[in-house]
């Protein structure tokens, strides 16, 4: 057994980030400025996005995207129950109503066929907001087709999906000429690339320009352009926006993280493969399967417990891991079971049968680039030990 606790998802930052951060501190420019601009263009290039906007969170990106897509009061937005609350909050914040679509049981992503059925009964639908759960990309072709057919906007929650590919298309590059579409990434401390807190919104140049204004209090020109010597002090307030911009301090960290991202991803792929090889044969476990022809970002490695084979439940399994010095977590309690949404929309737990049945089985185990091989083996050993002791 491990003698030291293995945290579930610590950030992976080093001297390169520290150096770049110091450089920014010494530069006299702390808020959105040259580093944000450089980060936006480097990130945009990395995911092949036509345009990119650096923000202070993925939540801010989802909110700005829905606003820029013209989604508002009286509209409805289709999304998944298996996500973090901020996905649904963004819909509430523009005054629209979330409508949930149950999961595809193989990927745990929003099911495109069920979305089609839901749309038939949802005349006010204005957008679809899929989440690439755990880093496994949704099948975008069918969602794009559905949005084009029904004239809906498509806003991707890509908090987990960096770097991910659907077919040969990077998540973040979505820019169909006839589609209003956006992709929102998270740089929260636990995510595949971190800036402490932060996010990036990608999409068509026109949509990103609208989101940029909204994310800067609705000001016609952002502060750093006005203050950069040649600029004028003058500006106009064009709408009641929010204060959502990223700072140069965050972008400094992000620039260095982005350089490391391909190496980070290679290591995540290795760890996932090692876990899957070790757990494949265990009948008490269902391992995550990568969709063929796509690239999983492996933000999370989510096991599904076959509870029939065990004498303990998922929460006890988590406690047993902790007792063996392994951090673990659960992603997510389905949003329709949280009091705010359950009470506001009178959503029954059973209304999303796949989400309901899968949720007591979900268990995320540690996967991050600076785990050593010994760390990975210690997780495998702990899981196998728990299975040996608590198998039915
Ligand atoms: C982390 C996360 C978010 C929110 O990201 P922030 O940058 O913290 O706003 C949104 N959706 C999902 C699925 C997430 O995991």
The answer for 298, left when phi > 0, alpha when psi is -120 to 50, beta otherwise, is left
Do 311 and 370 fall within a single domain? yes
Do 144 and 171 fall within a single domain? yes
Q: How far is the CA of 296 from the CAs of 133, 135, 162, 185, 293, in angstroms? A: 10, 5, 9, 15, 10
Tell me if 10 is assigned to some domain.
Answer: no
What percent of the chain has a predicted confidence (pLDDT) above 70?
97
Mean pLDDT of 263-292: 97
Q: Tell which atom from ligand 1 comes closest to the C-alpha of 191.
A: 1
Do 143 and 226 fall within a single domain? yes
C-alpha 389 – ligand 1 centre gap (Å): 36
Domain housing 232 = 15-255
Residue 220 confidence (pLDDT)? 83
Tens digit of each residue's pLDDT (9 = 90 or more) over 12-42: 999 999 999 999 999 999 999 999 999 999 9
In short, whether 185's Cβ falls inside 6 Å of ligand 1 is no
Do 251 and 266 fall within a single domain? no
- pTM here is 0.97
Closest among 40, 33, 82 to 61, alpha carbons compared: 40
Q: Which of 221, 255, 289 is the last residue of a domain?
A: 255
Closest among 197, 207, 134, 196 to 171, alpha carbons compared: 134
Work out whether the CA dihedral 213, 215, 216, 222 comes out positive or negative.
negative
The two three-digit tokens of residue 99, written as one number: 């409508």
Looking at residue 311, which CATH number applies to its domain?
A: 3.90.1150.10
Q: Which of 240, 255, 270 is the last residue of a domain?
A: 255
Residue 234 pLDDT level (bands cut at 50, 70, 90): confident
Tens digit of each residue's pLDDT (9 = 90 or more) over 289-315: 999 999 999 999 999 999 999 999 999
Do 376 and 285 fall within a single domain? yes
Residue 221 confidence (pLDDT)? 77
In short, whether 87's Cβ falls inside 6 Å of ligand 1 is yes
Mean pLDDT of the chain: 96
The two three-digit tokens of residue 204, written as one number: 């068509």
Residue 288 CB contacts under 8 Å (≥ 6 apart), including other chains: 134, 136, 272, 276, 296, 301, 302, 303
Residue 173 CB contacts under 8 Å (≥ 6 apart), including other chains: 47, 48, 49, 202
Residue 281 confidence (pLDDT)? 96
Looking at residue 51, which CATH number applies to its domain?
A: 3.40.640.10
* Catalytic status, residue 35: no
Which residue is listed with tokens 């399994």?
317
Residue 28 confidence (pLDDT)? 92
Which among 37, 114, 126, 191 is annotated as catalytic? 191
Q: Which of 195, 224, 255 is the last residue of a domain?
A: 255
Structural domains counted in the chain: 2
The two three-digit tokens of residue 271, written as one number: 């760890």
Do 180 and 36 fall within a single domain? yes
Residue 172 confidence (pLDDT)? 98
Residue 232 confidence (pLDDT)? 77
β-partners of residue 52 are 202
Do 84 and 185 fall within a single domain? yes
């Amino acid at each position: 057994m491990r003698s030291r606790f293995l945290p579930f998802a610590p950030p992976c930052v080093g001297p390169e980030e520290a150096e770049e951060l110091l450089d920014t501190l010494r530069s006299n420019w702390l808020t959105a400025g040259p580093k944000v601009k450089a980060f936006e263009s480097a990130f945009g290039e990395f995911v092949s996005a036509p345009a990119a906007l650096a923000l202070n969170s993925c939540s801010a990106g989802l909110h700005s995207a829905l606003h820029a897509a013209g989604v508002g009061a009286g509209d409805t937005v289709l999304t998944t129950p298996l996500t973090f609350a901020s996905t649904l909050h963004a819909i509430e914040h523009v005054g629209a109503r979330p409508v949930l679509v149950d999961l595809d049981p193989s990927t745990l992503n929003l099911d495109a066929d069920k979305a089609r059925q839901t749309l038939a009964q949802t005349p006010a639908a204005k957008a679809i907001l899929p989440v690439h759960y755990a880093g496994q990309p949704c099948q975008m072709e069918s969602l794009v087709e559905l949005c084009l057919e029904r004239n809906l906007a498509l806003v991707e929650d890509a908090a987990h999906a960096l770097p991910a590919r659907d077919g040969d298309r990077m998540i973040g590059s979505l820019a169909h000429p006839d589609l209003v579409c956006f992709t929102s990434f998270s740089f929260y401390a636990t995510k595949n690339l971190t800036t402490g807190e932060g996010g990036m919104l990608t999409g068509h140049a026109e949509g990103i320009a609208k989101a940029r204004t909204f994310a800067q209090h609705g000001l016609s020109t952002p502060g750093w352009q006005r203050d950069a010597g040649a600029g004028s002090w003058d500006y106009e307030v064009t709408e009641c926006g929010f204060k959502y911009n990223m700072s140069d301090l965050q972008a400094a960290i992000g620039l260095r993280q982005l350089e490391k991202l391909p190496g980070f991803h290679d290591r995540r792929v290795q760890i996932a493969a090692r876990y899957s090889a070790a757990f494949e044969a265990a009948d008490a476990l269902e391992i995550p399967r990568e969709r063929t022809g796509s690239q999983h970002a492996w933000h999370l490695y989510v096991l599904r417990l076959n509870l029939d084979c065990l004498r303990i439940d998922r929460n006890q399994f988590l406690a047993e891991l902790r007792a063996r010095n392994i951090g673990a977590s659960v992603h997510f309690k389905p949003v329709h079971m949280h009091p705010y949404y359950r009470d506001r929309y009178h959503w029954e737990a059973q209304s999303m049968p796949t989400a309901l049945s899968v949720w007591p089985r979900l268990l995320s185990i540690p996967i991050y680039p600076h785990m050593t091989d010994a760390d990975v083996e210690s997780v495998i050993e702990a899981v196998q030990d728990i299975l040996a002791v608590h198998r039915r």
